[in-house]
Amino acid sequence: MLVLKDVTAHYGTSQALFGMSLDLQAGQVATLLGRNGMGKTTTINTIMGIVKASGGSITFDGQELVGRASFRTANLGLGLVPEGRQIFPNLTMLENLVATASNHLGVDDPWTVEKVLALFPELETRTGSMGNLLSGGEQQMLAIGRALMTNPRLLILDEATEGLAPIIRQEIWAAIARLKQETGTAILLIDKSVRELAQVSDRAVILGRGETVWSGAFADITPEVSETYVGV
């Protein structure tokens, strides 16, 4: 579904990706791992066209994404939950959910506000609350719900549970597991907790200094691989 081959990217004259490769099949959950600054966020932002790839190829269902405007990439069915959540602070939760909702692919059974609230019942009593008054956990659930309201075939989460309390993190993992099982949405995610990621991840790609240094089944990450490349 999503294939990255030898992708390079720069910030000005500074190179951040040196030949990143990745292969994600439909319905799979894949995780990007690696120490801080290795290029995980840059990889995601390059897929979405927020950072321009300077070389290599990124295809989604055979369509080249390199050189495509971000909104056109999103319209192909890629939904992003960005680092820092980027909730609109001066819109209510409900307004945040519907502000960017779309069904560009014309899916038969699109996401609705009701379905998002069923996935995250914690949000039900907060629909009228302004974005900036929501807790970090509520904001993350909202950011996931907002991305789902664009009916993505591939959901991308940058720092799925960063900074959240353990109980909230567990709710996010449970929701991701439900999405995988019940909707078959492919998911690409970044998170730091290898142990928690094991609950949902089929595959892992490990980055070291802007390139893929290991990839395979998540279950095949040995303690040695984890210690060498991830640091835990």
Q: What size, in residues, is the chain?
A: 232
If one asks whether residue 85 binds ligand ATP (CB under 6 A), the answer comes out as no
Q: Select the span of 31-39, 64-72, 94-102, 195-203 touching ligand ATP (CB under 6 A).
A: 31-39
For the chain, the C-alpha Rg in angstroms (whole number) is 17
If one asks whether residue 13 binds ligand ATP (CB under 6 A), the answer comes out as no
If one asks whether residue 34 binds ligand ATP (CB under 6 A), the answer comes out as yes
If one asks whether residue 84 binds ligand ATP (CB under 6 A), the answer comes out as no
Return the number of the residue (36 or 167) whose C-beta is nearest ligand ATP. Answer: 36
- Residue list 90-119, contact with ligand ATP (CB under 6 A): none
- Beta bridge partners of residue 157, listed in sequence order: 81, 189
Question: In 3-state terms, what secondary structure has residue 135?
Answer: coil
**Using the rule CB under 6 A, which residue among 39, 77, 82, 145 binds ligand ATP?**
39
If one asks whether residue 40 binds ligand ATP (CB under 6 A), the answer comes out as yes
Q: Which of 132, 44, 116 is nearest to 82 (CA)?
A: 44
- What single-letter DSSP state applies at residue 219? G
Taking the C-alpha atoms of residue 118 and residue 175, their distance in angstroms, rounded to an integer, is 10
Structure tokens at 156: 């991308």
Return the number of the residue (47 or 97) whose C-beta is nearest ligand ATP. Answer: 47
Q: What's the half-sphere exposure (Cβ side, CA atoms, 13 Å) at 14?
A: 6
Residues 117-156 as x/- pattern, contact with ligand ATP by CB under 6 A? ----------------------------------------
Question: In 3-state terms, what secondary structure has residue 1?
Answer: coil
Taking the C-alpha atoms of residue 187 and residue 197, their distance in angstroms, rounded to an integer, is 12
Q: Select the span of 30-38, 112-120, 168-176, 177-185 touching ligand ATP (CB under 6 A).
A: 30-38
Residues that bind ligand ATP (CB under 6 A): 11, 14, 16, 34, 36-42
